[in-house]
Amino acid sequence: MAKARDRTEDFKDAARRAAINLEYDESKIAAIMASFIMHKSLERSLFTKAALKTLESIRALEQFLSKHKKDYVDVHRITEKERDSIEHEVTVFIKTCKEQIDVLKNSINDEEANSKGWLGIRSDSSNADTIAHKHGVVLILSEKLHSVTSQFDQLRAVRFRDAINRVTPRRKLKPKGPTIAESSTSGNIDPREVSNTGIRQTDDAQAQPIRFQQQLLDDETHALQVELATMLDAVQDTETKMVEMSALNHLMSTHVLQQAQQIEFLYEQAVEATNNVVLGNKELSQAIQRNSSSRTFLLLFLFVLTFSVLFLDWYS
């Protein structure tokens, strides 16, 4: 087998001789010879430029999340207002990237619709490969955006969990010490205190109603404290449930938005399938008409041919 040989220099010499025969000047010949060394970069299409711009936006969003991740998660770094501002900026970023991906999808659908010929069949295979490549690019961008949004959902889940932990009761009401009535009935009192109390009661009998009223007031105060503590626990439980409901509502709205996009895509596919069926029915009806007209023409042709043969036979 003959060994391969590099004929690049021969090709350059042939191109130079052809340029001289065409009476090119030295500047044109130099430009032609330089084109063999420095190739011109191909001009990017509008779809490629838009896809690269979308990719840059997604990368900028990812860098923004990585930059503010610690500030968003840590409670003591920034305030709730600043955290809400970060969340708003990320939401606007995600919405913008999604709109750009939708524009790319619509351009692909328009190009695919224009490339279809008779009976909805693509005539150019290279165009079909290009459309398939563009679908792959849009799929990669969608997966990249979904990955970034998943990271943001995890950070937001951490924030909601911290909010729930903050509103959870951290301390219980300490048990109140025994009252005077309880201590008097407990049996663990010093006998000297009992004797002193008896002496005071005998010496000052008028102070007993005042102490009784003070005891009643202390009991009512303790009961009110217990009731207020119970109401505080109930309020804190309600606040915890509200925060949990807010987090679940946000997750539910995210899933509903994804389902709405899927339903819209299925609806577009169903409409396109319906249009294809209608177009196929029209083509079938036209084919039936052509078949009937061609059958009539064939019968007429055979009749005329038979009559002509009979006439020529009679004439001869």
Q: Tens of pLDDT along 65-106?
A: 888 888 777 777 778 788 888 888 888 888 888 888 889 888
Mean pLDDT for the stretch of residues 153-166? 76
Determine the Cα–Cα distance for residues 45 and 49; give it in Å rounded to an integer. 6
Higher pLDDT, 151 or 120: 151
Say which residue the tokens 């770094």 belong to: 77
Mean pLDDT for the stretch of residues 175-191? 46
Higher pLDDT, 232 or 205: 232
Tokens found for residue 27: 């500047």
DSSP H or E stretch at residue 218: helix 207-315
Query: Could you tell me where the DSSP H helices lie in 115-190?
Result: 125-167, 180-186
CA distances from 254 to 210, 245, 247, 249, 261 (A): 66, 14, 11, 9, 11
What pTM was estimated for this model as a whole?
0.46
φ and ψ of 214, to 5 deg: -65, -40
Hey, what amino acid is at 72? Answer: Y
Q: Where are the domains of the chain?
A: 46-167, 233-316
Contact 98, 145 (CB under 8 A): yes
With a CB cutoff of 8 Å and minimum separation 6, the contacts of 312 are none
Q: What pLDDT, on a 0 to 100 scale, did the predictor assign at position 204?
A: 56
- Residue 182 C-alpha from the chain's centroid: 65
Determine the Cα–Cα distance for residues 112 and 94; give it in Å rounded to an integer. 27
Tokens found for residue 58: 């997604």
Determine the Cα–Cα distance for residues 311 and 316; give it in Å rounded to an integer. 9
Band the pLDDT of 117: cuts 50, 70, 90.
low
The CATH fold of domain 46-167: Methane Monooxygenase Hydroxylase; Chain G, domain 1 (1.20.58)
φ and ψ of 44, to 5 deg: -75, 145
Contact 47, 107 (CB under 8 A): yes
Higher pLDDT, 52 or 205: 52
Strand partners, 116: 122
What is the dihedral angle through the alpha carbons of 220, 225, 230, 233, rounded to the nearest 10 degrees? Answer: 170
Band the pLDDT of 184: cuts 50, 70, 90.
very low
What's the length of the chain? 316
